[in-house]
Structure 1
C-alpha cells in the first residue's frame, strides 16, 4: 500500500515521522528543487513540544532552539499591556516559551525521515480520483498512483484548488515584513510584541546569537507600495517605537527582508475525502497571531498516525481526524483572526480602551485559553 504526502514542510515531514513510528511507509513529493526553509524564526508552544515528545524527538528540537523568560505585549512606549511568565508555563505545561529558526526545525525533521522517500522537484499540479486510489500529475510530466493521499502543500495548495476551487485564502487586512539578523549586542531573553498606531513589531532572540523580528502594518492586499518597501521605509514607519526596535532596524538591510500579506483559510467543506486528507496549512491555515500555525500542523501528524493505529485503515483514520481536528483548528483560526484585528486598531481612543482592557483582564481568562491550547493528549 502506497501513501503519498504532497509537501515537505513542517506538516508533511512530521506526518511522515509519525507514520513511520507506526510502521507505515510514505513517499513525500516536494515541489522545490531543494529543501530550503525560508529563513525566519517561529515559536513552538507546549502543545507542539508535547507532540514531538510523543515522537521521541523533542530533545533534538529543544537543543536547536532557545527557551525564553516570558512573552510580553507592549505599547509603542514600551509599557506592558500583557505578559505571560515562562516559569508559570513550565510548571503548568512542562515547557517555557520556546523559539527556533525554521531552517533548524526542518533540519531536525529531515534527519528522521527514511532516506530515499523524499522526492524533490515534484510539483503536483492535478489529480484523478480512481476507484482504488489517486493518480497524481506532476509539472515535469510524470505521474504516480497512491492508495492514500495526504495533502500538506500549504495555504496556496494547487491540489486543494482543484478539489475546492471555491475556497480561497482570506486576507487579514495587514501585510508583514520579516528578517533574521545577527544580534548587534542586545541583551534579549523574552519574546516581545509591540502594538502601536503604526502597526505591530515583534522580536525574539534565536539560538546562535541571532534575532528574528517581524513588522506588520494595515494595507490593501497585494499593494505594490508595500511590496516595494525598503528598510529605510520601515525605519521611518517605526522610528517612534521603543528601544530596541530602532536599533534592530538600523542593523537590517533591505536584502534581508521577506515580505508577504497575511492570510488565513476559510473552513473547507471537509478535511477528509475518502482516501484523501488535508492537513497543516493546506487544510486550516491560520494567521500567526497565536503562534499556532506550525503547532497545529505538528499536532496533525501525530494525531493522524495515532488514529490510523487505532482504526486500522487510512480512510477510517481520516474520518476520525475530521471529527477531532475540525473544531480545534477552526477555533484557532477564528481566535487568531480576531486577535489580529484587535492588535491592528488605528483609532487612538479604541487603542487606549484596548490596552486598558488587556491590562485589567483577569488572569483566569488568559489561563483558560492557554489550557485549551496546551492541554492536549496524543495517546
Structure 2
C-alpha cells in the first residue's frame, strides 16, 4: 500500500485531516482545493470530545484546545425569556467541547501537512477511473492522476454527482444565518454555550477565543428564498426582537459583512461511500444537519477511521470496504438523531412549543447526558 498515490479533492476539514492521517502512515497524498487560498471567511464550529479524541491520534488535539474556547459548562437550552429548559454536558473524562473559528482550524490542519501537499485553485470539473487508476480534470483544463481518489469536496461534491448520482440533497425546512461579533456575550453566562428555542426561531450564542462570539440563527422557510439571502443584521434583529439578552446585543455588534447565509440541507442516507477506486469523505458522503454540532466532527472521524482501516487491512480495497461498513452505520444514526432534534427545535405552534418546553424541563439531565456520552464514545 505504501507505493500507492492518493488524490484528495477538497481542502476543507475532511480533506486536510485525511491528508494528515495518511501522510503519517507514509502514504503519497496530494490535496486539490478549488479556492486560490485558505479563506479567512466563515464562522465558528464546535469540536466535540469524539473529534478531539480523533485529532489526538495525529497530535493536534492540544493545538485546537489552545486556539479555541473551552467551555466547562456544556450547553444550555433556553426559552425566549432566557429560562433554562435543559443543560447538557458536552464533556467526557478526557475532553471538553471546544469552539473555534473555522479558518483557524483550517490553518492548524494546513500547518500539519508537508509543504506543497495542498494545491490551490483547482476546482474539479470531471473525474474518471479504470483498473489502472484515477484521473481528475480541473476547471483550468489541467489534470492529475493517481491510484486512488478521496472525495472530500463538500455537500455539493462534484465527484459525488459524477460517480454517485443517486445520492440526493434533502432540504431541512429551515434557513440559517451565521456571524462573528467582536465581543463576548454581555452576560454572566459568557462561559457557557447557549441555544434559545422559541416559535419565531432558534438562536445560538457560542463564545470564541480572543473575545469574539459566534452566533447562528435559524428560522423555518422555503429553500432558495431570495429575501433571506438579502437580509442584513437589522432584519435578523427584527426576527429575534424580544429575545433575552445577549441575543439582540450580539447582533447589534456584528457587521453585515461578517454574516453569512445558507439554507440547511443534508444528504439522503447513502447506501455506499465507495465506487471503484473512489471513496467519499465528510460532507461529500454524509452531510448532516447542524443540530448536534457534529458535521466537522464526523469529517474528522472519517479521516482517522480511514487511517485505522489502512493499518488493519492489507489492501486499499479491503480498507475501503471496512470503512464503508463502519461509517455508514454511525453517520446514518447521527444524521437521523440530528434531523429529529431539528424538527423539535424548529416547532412554531405555540401550544406545541409549550408542551415541548415542559417535557424538556421534566426530562432528567442524566438521560440527556447519557445520550451525549454515547455520541462521544468512539474508538480509533
| Length-normalised TM-score, structure 1 | 0.96
Report if aligned partners of 2:81, 2:243 keep a CA contact under 8 Å in 1. yes
Q: Distance in 2 between matches of 1:93 and 1:178?
A: 31
**Which secondary structure does the structure 1 equivalent of 2:28 belong to?**
coil
Deviations 1:257-277 (A, max 9, x none): 100001111122310123210
Q: What is the CA-CA distance between 1:2 and the residue it aligns to? A: 1.4
Q: Distance in 1 between matches of 2:174 and 2:182?
A: 27
**Which secondary structure does the structure 1 equivalent of 2:41 belong to?**
coil
> Which has the larger displacement, 341-350 or 312-321?
312-321
Q: What is the CA-CA distance between 1:368 and the residue it aligns to? A: 3.2
Whether 2:368 is the aligned partner of 1:366: answer yes
Q: Distance in 2 between matches of 1:367 and 1:184?
A: 27
Q: Indicate how the Cα distance of structure 1 residues 185 and 221 shifts in structure 2: closer, same or farther if over 3 A, else same.
A: closer
Q: Distance in 2 between matches of 1:70 and 1:364?
A: 13
Deviations 1:228-273 (A, max 9, x none): 1111111111111001111111212322210000111112231012
Q: Distance in 1 between matches of 2:329 and 2:41?
A: 29
Partner of 2:326: 324
> Of residues 356, 359, 379 in structure 1, which corresponds to 2:358?
356
Q: What is the CA-CA distance between 1:184 and the residue it aligns to? A: 6.3
Q: Indicate how the Cα distance of structure 1 residues 127 and 71 shifts in structure 2: closer, same or farther if over 3 A, else same.
A: same
Report if aligned partners of 1:184, 1:251 keep a CA contact under 8 Å in 2. no
> Of residues 263, 266, 274 in structure 2, which corresponds to 1:264?
266
Report if aligned partners of 1:177, 1:260 keep a CA contact under 8 Å in 2. yes
Q: Distance in 1 between matches of 2:327 and 2:185?
A: 43
> Which has the larger displacement, 141-150 or 280-289?
141-150
Report if aligned partners of 1:93, 1:375 keep a CA contact under 8 Å in 2. no
> Of residues 7, 21, 25 in structure 1, which corresponds to 2:24?
21
Q: Distance in 2 between matches of 1:367 and 1:256?
A: 34
Q: Distance in 1 between matches of 2:344 and 2:116?
A: 46
Q: Indicate how the Cα distance of structure 1 residues 199 and 302 shifts in structure 2: closer, same or farther if over 3 A, else same.
A: same
Query: Structure 1: which 5+ residue stretches go unaligned?
Result: none
Q: What is the CA-CA distance between 1:37 and the residue it aligns to? A: 4.9
**Which secondary structure does the structure 2 equivalent of 1:39 belong to?**
coil
Report if aligned partners of 1:219, 1:226 keep a CA contact under 8 Å in 2. no
> Of residues 84, 89, 96 in structure 1, which corresponds to 2:88?
84
Whether 2:253 is the aligned partner of 1:226: answer no
Q: What is the CA-CA distance between 1:155 and the residue it aligns to? A: 0.2
> Of residues 279, 282, 287 in structure 2, which corresponds to 1:285?
287
Query: Structure 2: which 5+ residue stretches go unaligned?
Result: none
Output aligned runs, 1:89-238, within 5 Å: 89=91, 92-183=92-183, 186-187=186-187, 188-238=190-240
| Length-normalised TM-score, structure 2 | 0.96
Q: Distance in 2 between matches of 1:322 and 1:367?
A: 29
Report if aligned partners of 1:71, 1:97 keep a CA contact under 8 Å in 2. no
> Which has the larger displacement, 19-28 or 291-300?
19-28
Deviations 1:93-119 (A, max 9, x none): 412232111111111100111111211
> Of residues 8, 24, 35 in structure 1, which corresponds to 2:38?
35
How many residue pairs get aligned? The number is 374
Q: What is the CA-CA distance between 1:358 and the residue it aligns to? A: 1.3
Q: Distance in 2 between matches of 1:351 and 1:374?
A: 28
RMSD over equivalenced CA pairs, Å: 1.3
Partner of 2:5: 2
Partner of 1:50: 53
Q: Distance in 1 between matches of 2:57 and 2:184?
A: 37
Q: Distance in 1 between matches of 2:61 and 2:320?
A: 25
Partner of 1:297: 299
Q: Distance in 2 between matches of 1:184 and 1:194?
A: 17
Q: After the TM superposition, which segments of 4 or more aligned residues of structure 1 sit over 3 Å from their partners?
A: none
Report if aligned partners of 2:86, 2:365 keep a CA contact under 8 Å in 1. no
Deviations 1:34-66 (A, max 9, x none): 121532111111000001111111111110101
Q: What is the CA-CA distance between 1:364 and the residue it aligns to? A: 4.1
